[in-house]
Structure 1
Amino acid sequence: MSYEPIFDELADTRFTLNNGSGNLPAVGFGTLFENPAVTTEVVTHALQNGYRHFDCAERFRNEEQVGIALHAFIEAGKARREEVFITTKLWNTNHRPERVLPAFEASCRRLQVDYIDCYLIHTPFAFQPGDDLYPRDVFGHVLYDSGVTLIETWRALEGLVDEGRCRSIGLSDITLEALKDIVAVARIKPAVVQIESHPYLPEWELLEFCRQHGIIVVAFAPLGHGMAPNVLEEPVITGIARRLQKTPAQVALAWSVQRGVAFLTTSATLSHIQENRDISTLPHRAMQEIRQDISTRVRFNSVVETGVPVFIPQQK
């Protein structure tokens, strides 16, 4: 059975960046794949199906394959570079200021772009500098770098904005407390904060703080990463989906955009790529139900505690 998407304007929502450098498409596509060999083909499918916001990272080790897809699509005249919002991230081993520019330029080369729309600090945790993504001691413990502070790394990112190499900068996998510390002293305020968020982890307090400061929140794992307890099996979500003749995923993703949060989904399956952009505006009643009637609270990824991204299954 072929999938025939029907879009309303919600799928094309864009959020304005606080530094006047453009806007970010609310519907985003993540590029971390279990099999990196599929990257170019899958990103091409996403572009063909209307995605214009791509989330990349040095740590994903496939920026070059993403770049091939983006470059070919733009060179073919199917989109202008300024229509495609490209985010990538500085990994934990490159937090020292002198390592930021070389890491940034390497990402630009791999992605085949002259500028990055948004450059994020992947986590607030600095690891020992070097080529090993996860430097560890003989006992397997991550080796952190006490010789650099987050604000020092942030100052280096501010320099990238000053030079026009980067349109905006932000933070990822950060707690509200750590975000407040940066906002208090930053010369260039964060434009974007990327965090885990879904109906089981709505992060209302962090979202409110970001609203007050004009910061866009981008949710990763907006569907709960398929883990237990499963967001897509939540009775409130499935009930709304039945009423509206949408899938539970489409309900959860529409909820995200309507509450002002951009999202990233990742799939190598064409039908899911299409489904995740086929979102429609939810009735006010449905938005209230999701906020008031879902009591489960789960964080699936412990990266905010260690700087090491890892999804950990939970049980009700």
Structure 2
Amino acid sequence: MTYYDTLRDTRFPLAHGTGEMPAVGFGTLFRDLSVTTQAVKAALEAGFRHFDCAERYRNEEQVGIALQEVLQAGQVRREELFITTKLWNTNHRPERVEPALAASCRRLQVDYIDCYLIHTPFAFQPGDDQDPRDEQGRVIYDSGVTLIETWRALERLVDEGRCKSIGVSDITLEALKALVAVARIKPAVVQVESHPYLPEWELLEFCQQHGIILLAFAPLGHGMEPNVLEEPVITGIAQRLQKTPAQVALAWSVQRGTAFLTTSATPAHIQENFDISTLPHRAMAEIREEIQTRIRFNSVVETGVPGFIPRKK
């Protein structure tokens, strides 16, 4: 008799929205946009039902093609899918929010979004240029709108049934506390960089106290140095349990109460990232107590400009 471990099937109920978010999520940010449709189809085949998209990624149409193929073939029902997309920084003005969501829905070929996130709390100059810069190459921010004004526009989308929940990405604990204090509809989801080198315990605790799901991006450290997947504590546990270091880090993520996003265009890696199973208590304690390295790989929380920080070995 084979024992079936249900960790990969974990779903977190949305306390401030409707439905449940599958803990195991697939991110759709690819350097090469042409791989998008095939990668999303491979992820659906592997068992992923949670897909994280964004206007900024410039490939929602390709994601939509993959989703439509499986939906029309009857392989998956829309209700089984959890689709997140994000409002980009140039669309923070309240009058730009609904048209931005409508455009994302059109590209993704869906009638509603399960979770609509503010991509970063930083408003950029409104317009069609996603990366507005001045002559010196500095980002042009928009001082004419506040985060709470943008949030109010998102709340209206929930009222209208356009999205089932709302949240924010790349936010600091202080900024999140300020938003939660005044929000009529609280954030259902907060998406931030998090991995064993950036566990964000304080942020996680705040989220759990307020019924907010913490959704980790770069849960494997984005392959950067120092490499999470070469961390001796992780590799030791992997060896002991006959799992890969990636599977250990991802299982840790779900077991401590966070959802995660991984991205790959390689079917074998996609399958590996889905195929996680429960870690023993001892392994969870080792990761928490023995890993001392603390590092943030993405500076987006400081600038609103996504991007991993290049580091030399």
TM-score band by shorter chain is over 0.9
1:244 aligns with 2:260: no
d(CA) in 1 for partners of 2:67 and 2:266?
A: 19
1:94 aligns with 2:81: no
1:17 aligns with 2:14: yes
- Correspondences of 1:1-316 after superposition (within 5 Å): 8-314=5-311
d(CA) in 2 for partners of 1:246 and 1:315?
A: 29
Letter in 2 for 1:196: E
Q: Shift of the alpha carbon at 1:314?
A: 4.4
| TM-score normalised by structure 1 residue count | 0.97
| TM-score normalised by structure 2 residue count | 0.98
Q: Secondary structure at the match of 1:276?
A: helix
Gaps in structure 2 of 5+ consecutive residues = none
- Please, what is the CA RMSD of the aligned residues? 1.0
Aligned 8 A contact 2:221 2:297 in 1: yes
d(CA) in 2 for partners of 1:240 and 1:315?
A: 27
d(CA) in 1 for partners of 2:162 and 2:4?
A: 34
Letter in 1 for 2:168: L
Aligned 8 A contact 2:56 2:88 in 1: yes
Could you report, residue by residue, the CA deviation over 1:26-78 in whole angstroms, capped at 9, with x for unpaired residues? 00000011110111111011101100000000000000000010011011111
Q: Shift of the alpha carbon at 1:7?
A: 6.0
d(CA) in 2 for partners of 1:204 and 1:315?
A: 28
d(CA) in 1 for partners of 2:4 and 2:243?
A: 12
d(CA) in 2 for partners of 1:166 and 1:103?
A: 13
Identical counterparts, % of pairs: 80
Q: Secondary structure at the match of 2:265?
A: coil
d(CA) in 1 for partners of 2:16 and 2:189?
A: 10
d(CA) in 1 for partners of 2:17 and 2:247?
A: 30
d(CA) in 2 for partners of 1:8 and 1:40?
A: 29
Aligned 8 A contact 1:115 1:165 in 2: yes
d(CA) in 2 for partners of 1:7 and 1:84?
A: 22
Aligned 8 A contact 2:17 2:164 in 1: no
Structure 1 segments of 4+ aligned residues over 6 angstroms from their partners: none
Could you report, residue by residue, the CA deviation over 1:181-237 in whole angstroms, capped at 9, with x for unpaired residues? 000000000000000000000000000000000000000000000000000000000
Q: Secondary structure at the match of 2:12?
A: strand
d(CA) in 1 for partners of 2:240 and 2:219?
A: 21
d(CA) in 2 for partners of 1:14 and 1:300?
A: 27
Q: Shift of the alpha carbon at 1:313?
A: 3.5
Q: Secondary structure at the match of 1:166?
A: coil
Gaps in structure 1 of 5+ consecutive residues = 1-5
Could you report, residue by residue, the CA deviation over 1:81-132 in whole angstroms, capped at 9, with x for unpaired residues? 0100000000000000000000000000000000000000000000000011
Aligned 8 A contact 1:300 1:314 in 2: no
d(CA) in 2 for partners of 1:104 and 1:119?
A: 8
Q: Secondary structure at the match of 2:165?
A: strand
Could you report, residue by residue, the CA deviation over 1:244-291 in whole angstroms, capped at 9, with x for unpaired residues? 000000000000000000000000011100000110100000000000
Q: Secondary structure at the match of 1:195?
A: strand
Could you report, residue by residue, the CA deviation over 1:145-196 in whole angstroms, capped at 9, with x for unpaired residues? 0000000000000000000010000000000000000000000000000000
